[in-house]
Structure 1
């Protein structure tokens, strides 16, 4: 293993993820989450990758073509949500609706950081750094934000049901998970074998989804504010 090549790949995967983590944490400035808990959640997201890879490899022996692509998506999205349920969403620090979205996005960025590292390590050329940086930027713009959009969608659905019964929250989470799978699958189907114009259109679709996600952030902040006002009366 070339240590320089791995270091470049690791930085190429980690730095964009940390940038986006900083960006999204700014949405929770009024009552920020503990940094240690954010770090552990980020690492938890990274740990999903070595669990997902053997399952995806096993799927290659069973499925082909578009079915395989869809199964890969299901594996990733189910595992990201499962790890969030396992390590963080029950925690006492998740005490307002927006926290659910923050931690789901943190899981997604941890996953994207390691996934992008492995991807860049396989294609990075120590003798052609500029081209490798271009590839890294494409991952920065596309795949990383896709994971944010998918997991953020789950978070939004659960956040809207935050003050509802356990059954409603469970159903909201399952609905969000289905939406995340659909969004992720659409992205993958169009990216694989797509023309340059198609890929550009898909990236635009992801960016529009991120804007919608930001709008939902603001909506949920309003809901939380109204809930606090009502509970104090």
Structure 2
């Protein structure tokens, strides 16, 4: 039970942070819960199916003799693309069309809820296998990384909702999430190069900075800001 609590604690800390940042028009708790559960269940199922397909079509196993080009493909076109796409389809086709999605900041909220559902399931599996060390390490790396990918994606999905160029903004959000996810994983996959893992933390730090800017921008431009009581 202690490991389970450690696995889900960083997930709910991030959820509470984003919920707090949604200052002017809180989302229905029911929809937030549905988004989280869809991320935790459906997104994981989609990811698993696509991973099985990729194992047959692009069989890349990370081991000592795996080339840099293969690791690049694995990071960006398998792990990054599959995981972010599995989250994207839920935000795009479940959350975005909902009438409760009524301001740009909502893109961030729902993307984070879906992503944290995914991260919760993934984190539980890793922590149950890796124990306390895995729980502590992932609380400051993998879980925040998933949150930054979601915020970046959600920022553009929020813009898409109220734009004539909906497809462009939506796909840009997916693309940037894949790029940040792929970059983070790529540096971790290059473990045979001493010190290269620092690149993953640099990309995570950059993602956090961009996420803060995205949150502040959409919050500042909220359509409900003027009606919020001081």
Per the shorter chain, which TM-score range?
0.7 to 0.9
1:180 maps to: 177
Moved more, 84-93 or 66-75: 66-75
Residues 1:199 and 1:228: Cα distance change in structure 2 (over 3 Å): same
2:107 maps to: 100
* In structure 2, distance between residues paired with 1:176 and 1:34: 24
Q: What TM-score do the two structures reach when normalised by structure 1?
A: 0.82
Q: 2:33 aligns with which of 28, 39, 50?
A: 39
* In structure 2, distance between residues paired with 1:205 and 1:187: 6
1:61 counterpart SS class: helix
* 2:118 is the counterpart of 1:119: no
* In structure 2, distance between residues paired with 1:162 and 1:71: 28
* In structure 2, distance between residues paired with 1:174 and 1:54: 22
**Contact 1:141-1:203 within 8 A present in 2 as well:** no
| Number of residue pairs aligned between Structure 1 and Structure 2 | 212
Q: 1:191 aligns with which of 188, 200, 206?
A: 188
Question: How far is 1:203 from its partner?
Answer: 2.1
Q: 1:110 aligns with which of 114, 117, 125?
A: 117
* In structure 1, distance between residues paired with 2:216 and 2:175: 23
Q: Deviations over 1:17-71 (max 9, x none)?
A: 0111001111112221122211111111101112212321331232223223331
Consecutive unaligned residues of structure 2, counting only runs of 5 or more, are 61-69
Q: What TM-score do the two structures reach when normalised by structure 2?
A: 0.83
1:23 maps to: 17
2:82 counterpart SS class: helix
* In structure 2, distance between residues paired with 1:83 and 1:9: 28
**Contact 1:190-1:198 within 8 A present in 2 as well:** yes
Ranges of 4+ aligned residues in structure 1 off by more than 6 Å: none
Question: How far is 1:228 from its partner?
Answer: 7.3
**Contact 1:12-1:116 within 8 A present in 2 as well:** no
Give RMSD over aligned pairs. Answer: 2.1
Residues 1:122 and 1:196: Cα distance change in structure 2 (over 3 Å): farther
Q: Which is helix-richer, 1 or 2?
A: 1
2:153 maps to: 154
